[in-house]
Amino acid sequence: MVVMNLDSTPEFPIVVLISGRGSNLQSIIDAVAAGSLPVTICAVISNRPDADGLQRARRAGIETRVLDHRGFDDRESYDTALQKLIDTCKPRLVVLAGYMRILSPAFVAHYNGRLINIHPSLLPAFQGLHTHARALESGVRKHGASVHYVTEELDGGPPFLQVEVPVLENDTEESLAARVLEQEHRMYPVAIRWIAEGRVSMDAEGHVVLDRLLLDSPVRFQADTGQGNESKGMKHVEI
């Protein structure tokens, strides 16, 4: 395990929380390596010691920590310990990338405006789990993913960037999930970059501000070109 160096403070430090394979984490790592994402990943923390994403981080030379939730009596005590671990990095943003635990209100409050998640649906549709199966069962013709600030309501925080994919007649849960995940990998680094560059924030009232304007609906990230299109109340959005 790499020892965390706190002697110098990165320009925009982030911590990434994972529970599984870490494919969205890999997209963040790749964007940082390519120079298109101006952040420093100070640590990747998982609640599961067998999470494949930990190996992705280690291969990239990123500090990893495991805090196994099974060693705690309740959610609140675990989140208190997790908060202390995260705060050793002094992050400006905490990024959930396939972190499969419901967060306690105190934890969310501590990182209010500094905690984001990517969810595989066009929020507010299909909050919670099994989003692709539910989309197919409902008969919708459009599905996708959303990047949103995290609040106490599960998947209920304000989204600011979404990507839309078509639901095809012969789609299975697996094929639809794969199509959405491909776009998540393209979209999540952009959302993090917007925050790092100071373009996106959440105000005290829980509203998202983008380029100094209140955002009344999420920007749509185009699956075919990677460009942001016009969103209600906004003239133009530069990706």
Q: What is the pLDDT of residue 224?
A: 61
10 Å Cβ neighbour count for 92? Answer: 18
d(Cα 36, Cα 33) in Å, to the nearest integer?
8
Strand 208-210 and strand 213-214: the pairing is antiparallel
pLDDT at 5 over 60: no
> Which pLDDT tens digit goes with each residue over 149-176?
999 999 999 999 999 999 999 999 999 9
Residue whose entry in the numeric block shows the structure tokens 């202390």: 84
> Which pLDDT tens digit goes with each residue over 33-71?
999 999 999 999 999 999 999 999 999 999 999 999 999
d(Cα 162, Cα 143) in Å, to the nearest integer?
10
d(Cα 120, Cα 145) in Å, to the nearest integer?
4
Q: For the purposes of burial, counting CB atoms within 10 Å of the CB of 2, is it exposed (0-12), middle (13-18) or buried (19 or more)?
A: exposed
Q: Is-catalytic flag, 132?
A: no
Average pLDDT, the chain: 92
Which pTM value belongs to this model? 0.91
Catalytic entry in 119, 132, 143, 148: 119
pLDDT at 104 over 50: yes
What the chain holds in terms of domains, given with CATH numbers, is 9-111 (3.40.50.170), 119-145+163-239 (3.40.50.170)
Residue 96: strand pairing partners:
17, 117
pLDDT at 214 over 60: yes
